[in-house]
Chain A
Amino acid sequence: EAQVTQNPRYLITVTGKKLTVTCSQNMNHEYMSWYRQDPGLGLRQIYYSMNVEVTDKGDVPEGYKVSRKEKRNFPLILESPSPNQTSLYFCASSFEGLSNQPQHFGDGTRLSIL
């Protein structure tokens, strides 16, 4: 089954404790992206990757890192999480960039930073 898989689905942690949210897709997609979803703000893009070893900042990259060493994986790293990063996070992928390709989303990771 074609899918985008995120782990963990839920995480409660404390300020400053490094964490990684993994994202994997099995569709051989070149483009991958991370979003955060907050009430009343919709989805905002954090980082995206056009292909292996190519990453770029989205609209809200501060406090986040990503890497794209393999085509299928695009982990999101919070080196020193803070409470304002409490949010619902989505990973997405598409075959190419966004000009004419809808993105496929994972089911989300809910992070709570205390």
Chain B
Amino acid sequence: GESVGLHLPTLSVQEGDNSIINCAYSNSASDYFIWYKQESGKGPQFIIDIRSNMDKRQGQRVTVLLNKTVKHLSLQIAATQPGDSAVYFCAQEGGYNKLIFGAGTRLAVHP
């Protein structure tokens, strides 16, 4: 069935380093991809999105890369800060107005 998965369940980085969170997806027909950040006790918070006609999109300190050839999505966070510690989810539009989420990657930022 359709799925969105993540390569690493936990990522530990030093404060100030760049972080890269990866995601593999299975639905090649998807037109829309999103990254969410979820802090403890809160709901997912939108970070950045990208449509399938793009391969890169930049926000403030974040960049999303989409490689449709290998069905891979990544989130890059520049100069990672302690406030970036959270669980990050990739998601893809799965048809019929459904979002398919990955299981999540925990980002731990160490001082």
A98 CB-CB contact with B under 8 Å: yes
Residue A56 is within 8 A (CB to CB) of chain B in the complex: yes
B101 close to chain A: CB less than 8 A: yes
Interface residues on B, range: 20 to 34
Chain A positions 71 through 100: 1 when the CB is less than 8 Å from some CB of chain B, otherwise 0: 000000000000000000010100001111
How many angstroms between the C-alpha atoms of A103 and B96 in the bound complex?
15
Interface-located stretch among B11-19, B36-44, B63-71, B75-83: B36-44
Determine if B46 and A107 form an interchain contact, defined as CB atoms under 8 angstroms apart.
Answer: no
21 contacts between A and B (CB under 8 A): A42-B4, A42-B101, A42-B104, A44-B101, A45-B98, A45-B99, A48-B98, A56-B96, A97-B97, A98-B99, A99-B31, A99-B93, A99-B97, A102-B46, A102-B49, A103-B99, A105-B43, A105-B45, A107-B41, A107-B43, A108-B42
Q: How many residues of A contact B (CB 8 A)?
A: 28
Measured between beta carbons, the chain B residues less than 8 angstroms from A106 are 43
The reply on B86 being an interface residue by CB < 8 A is: no
- A59-B98 CB under 8 A given contacts A105-B44, A108-B43: yes
Q: Is the CB of B97 within 8 A of A31?
A: yes
Which residues, 57 to 111 on B, are CB-close (under 8 Å) to A? 89, 91, 93, 96-99, 101-104
The 8 residue pairs across chains A and B that have the minimum distance between CB atoms? A105-B43, A42-B101, A102-B46, A43-B101, A97-B97, A42-B103, A105-B44, A98-B93
Contact of A103 among B41, B46, B51, B103 (CB under 8 A): B46
Among B97, B103, B104, point to the contact of A98 (Cβ < 8 A). B97
